[in-house]
Amino acid sequence: MKNWTMPIELGYLQLRASNRISEYAYKINQKFIQLNYMYQAGYLKHFTEEVFLAIGCPEQEAKLAAQVLVSADLRGVDSHGIARLAGYVRLYDHGRLNPKPEIKVVYETPSTAVVDGDRGLGLVVAPKAMEVAMEKAEKVGSGWVSVRNSNHFGIAGYHAMLALEKEMIGWTMTNAAPLVTPTFSLEKLLGTNPVAVAVPALEEPPFVADFASTAVAYGKFEILQRKGLPAPLGWAQDAEGNATTDSNAVKSGGGLLPLGSDREHGSHKGYGLGAIVDIFSGVLSGANFGPWVPPFATAGFMNAQEGVGLGTGHFLGAMRIDGFRPAEEFKKDMDKWIRAFRGAKAVEGQKVLIPGDPEREAEADRFTNGIALLEPVVLSLDELAKRFNIPFENNL
């Protein structure tokens, strides 16, 4: 067997015996016994590049898109990783994805801009928009870019973290297909609409908050569907507005619930947060918004309503720390902030985490031990390999 792929049933015992598997991976294997095959990130990245090249993406954009996509798997966000590769190809098949977009600024001031993505991969459009934001921040202290005419951009955290390379604070938001029912609504009007904020520290790892404005992202339901498992109560409602554990509820007329799940637990706040993201990403840029945001190519959600704008919208920002105070002083205080929270007394058997800790731990583990893929994901990659005549070891 080649060294870049390993069936988890065999590899797990080998890795555990050699003490190379972490507590994180051990728990993953205990809990999700349906994880089937391990792949090294570099192999998955190369395969993803080849698929994007096959649909006509230029080489550098294919590399960037693959980097963004596989970074989600590395950071433990399986719902937004290579499992979505076939979805991007379906967008291309339906004429909704331009593999060679002319990404351009269509409106700007010294600190703001609107970028038109020309129906390109959001995986490419968003990093380029963040470059615009950082260039403006370098000149005037902060830069804010609203994006229209884009597509799904992967994990929000990747784009926010680009600002860390410039020792800036990064912000990222995106609207998404209407799968979410606002508080008391039976209609799906908002997307999962995530927010990410990345803040550098001096000696401590950066603060990286990346979260949906819903109880969970829809990708978590896709994972449950692949496993044939129910959803926890509080994630979704059925077509009549009742709480449900049916992981297929959204496909059968129900909807995702905002962060908080119900009014008594603060769902109006999650609804408000999702609405803010939608306005900044869609209304501000001239993209589609609310119920008109086109769906990602998830099975059962290909058809879009006639839009009120152009494509999917994003919002990205970069802030120079020294626009507020000396950067070194700020980062020292961030170290103190992080250590205070991480050192807090916790309930038995738990520890207080800093946003970004779980993803960083997952990345360290998966970079060494590999990325576990479910069998349905491996099958979808195998289909792409056969279609585009790209070598792929499925080991099924």
Contact between 372 and 28 under an 8 Å Cβ cutoff? The reply is yes
Q: Is 36 domain-assigned?
A: yes
Residue 310 CA from chain centroid, whole number: 21
pTM equals 0.88
By CB atoms closer than 10 A (0-12, 13-18, 19+), residue 184 is exposed
Contacts of 297 by beta carbon, 8 Å cutoff, 6+ apart: 86, 87, 88, 89, 90, 91, 94, 96
- Report d(CA 360, CA 206) in Å as an integer: 10
Q: Give the range of the structural domain holding residue 85, as residue numbers without chain letter.
A: 5-95+356-388
- Report d(CA 243, CA 47) in Å as an integer: 40
Q: Is 349 domain-assigned?
A: no
- 295-307 burial by CB neighbour count: b if 16+ within 10 A, else e? bbbbeebbebeee
Q: 277 and 189, same structural domain?
A: yes
Q: 141 and 165, same structural domain?
A: yes
pLDDT value for 301 = 53
Q: Look up the CATH number of the domain holding residue 323.
A: 3.30.1370.60
Evaluate if residue 351 carries a pLDDT over 60.
yes
Q: 42 and 91, same structural domain?
A: yes
Q: Is 200 domain-assigned?
A: yes
pLDDT value for 150 = 98
Q: 174 and 48, same structural domain?
A: no
Q: Is 395 domain-assigned?
A: no
**45 three-class SS:** helix
Q: Where are the beta strands (DSSP E) in 51-126?
A: 104-108, 112-116
244-277, pLDDT tens digit by residue?
A: 999 999 999 999 999 999 999 999 999 999 999 9
pLDDT value for 22 = 33
pLDDT bucket at 59, cuts 50 / 70 / 90 = very high
- Report d(CA 189, CA 242) in Å as an integer: 17
Q: Is 249 domain-assigned?
A: no
